[in-house]
Amino acid sequence: MSDKQQQNKLWGGRFSESTDAFVQAFTASVLFDQRMYRQDIQGSQAHATMLAEVGVLTTEERDAILQGLDEIRQEIEAGEFAWSVALEDVHMNIEARLTDKIGITGKKLHTGRSRNDQVATDIRLWLRDEIDQLDAELLRLMNGLLDLAEREAATIMPGFTHLQTAQPVTFGHHLLAWFEMLKRDRERLLDCRKRVNRMPLGAAALAGTTYPIKRERTCELLGFDAVCENSLDAVSDRDFAIEFCALAALSMTHLSRISEELVLWTSAQFNFIDLPDRFCTGSSIMPQKKNPDVPELVRGKTGRVNGHLISLLTLMKSQPLAYNKDNQEDKEPLFDAVDTLAGSLRAFADMIPALEPNREVMREAARRGFATATDLADYLVRKGIPFRDSHEIVGKAVAYGVSKKKDLGDMSLSELRQFNDQIDDDVFEVLTLEGSVSARNHIGGTAPEQVRAAVARARQALGA
């Protein structure tokens, strides 16, 4: 790099020799931070507007800057912008191009700010926009789950603990358990947005600026809720990025748990559901295969996002105040966490409403495994037998059923009465699958009536 090129780096005045070519490439971030160009231009236009209002720029200078930045945005979106690694980052690339277009006025744009507060502002603007898009995808998935849960409110399936048949539940009730996970994810996402939406601009390099800026005005123009009140913290804080990756990791964990069940349920051994072909692939050697690639891949991508959270925590753990070059390493983990969560939510929002349950297979699976054993114990309690005694009686009945290969509901009254003579004909009302699920008719229970009521409450809460 020539001495002239070194000076054109916008900070080269203090240096007597050119940056090593490898170091220049090694320290540049433009290859990944250029995706924040819209937010960089948005922040610069708000900054220029404020500078004109306080008299640092003239109206003519402001207008030239605003128009020049609009034209640069159009160039970028048309694929006509020449990004330069020599100019290091998105900020300097855009500022250099602005100076090329409008002359010395372009050099005045940076008055009263630093790249430190500029990048901190850009990344918050970018993440705020991404959170809004993620929320839209999450809502689409949640509404799809509600539609499916309502449709399958009375579809009976086995409920599991330890992956062993435990009690009958409805498929709609199981789907609403997934919904509850996502509801918490959305609460965390929207809560994170509140802390993202604070403005660092005006903190300059670390101590503020001597120019008569009005940070409150820039805050208003950019739609932030408030300014960051300490300049040192404003430029060095990355809590918001860590917090986002934490919620993203937990959201992906929920999607991974759902994925695991989808993978199990589509297997020949379960055969509870069918996934449409468009969400599956085949085998290059086994022509019969239909692989649930989408849920498998989401399950795998969860580890990727978990890693990004650890990367950011480690990045920040030993940094002194204020800004350090380490913070350039915040973007790639954050960007990829956003991209991975966004893609996973989109795939699930498309896939979940298209699930087709094999209702008879589910029902038959619930009929096996003595799923109504707890109902029989509760029946005996209502006859006045202490629960622990009832538990033992039913355990013996189950052992008998195992030996005879008979479920409780398939036994005759005389067979059941050999374990307790207080068992009468009405026992068969509680040993049916429908009777079992319908009996759990309270808020949070699996009864079809409660599933439909829960769907209605959820839709009202979502504003659907």
Q: How many Å apart are CA 359 and CA 156, to the nearest integer?
A: 7
pLDDT for 7 equals 45
Q: Which two tokens stand for residue 358?
A: 């094999």
Structure letter (DSSP) for residue 18? P
Residue among 162, 284, 318, 412 flagged as catalytic: 162
Residues of the chain with confidence (pLDDT) below 70: 1-19, 282-287, 289, 464
How many of the other CB atoms lie within 10 Å of CB of 290? 14
Residue 309 exposed, middle or buried by CB count within 10 Å (0-12, 13-18, 19+)? buried
pLDDT for 13 equals 60
Q: Which amino acid is at 213?
A: I
Query: Which DSSP string corresponds to 272-322?
Result: -EE--GGG-B--SS-TT--B-HHHHHHHHHHHHHHHHHHHHHHHHTTPPSS
Helical residues (DSSP H) of 78-170, grouped into ranges: 90-102, 115-151
pLDDT for 1 equals 42
pLDDT for 284 equals 66
231 is catalytic: no
pLDDT for 18 equals 66
Q: How many Å apart are CA 203 and CA 212, to the nearest integer?
A: 13
CB 348, CB 258: distance < 8 Å: yes
283 is catalytic: yes
Residue among 251, 254, 259, 283 flagged as catalytic: 283
pLDDT digits 0-9 by tens, 109-141: 999 999 999 999 999 999 999 999 999 999 999
pLDDT for 464 equals 58
Q: Which domains does the chain have, with CATH numbers?
A: 3-12+19-111 (1.10.275.10), 116-363 (1.20.200.10), 369-462 (1.10.40.30)
Partners of 159 in the β-ladder: 167
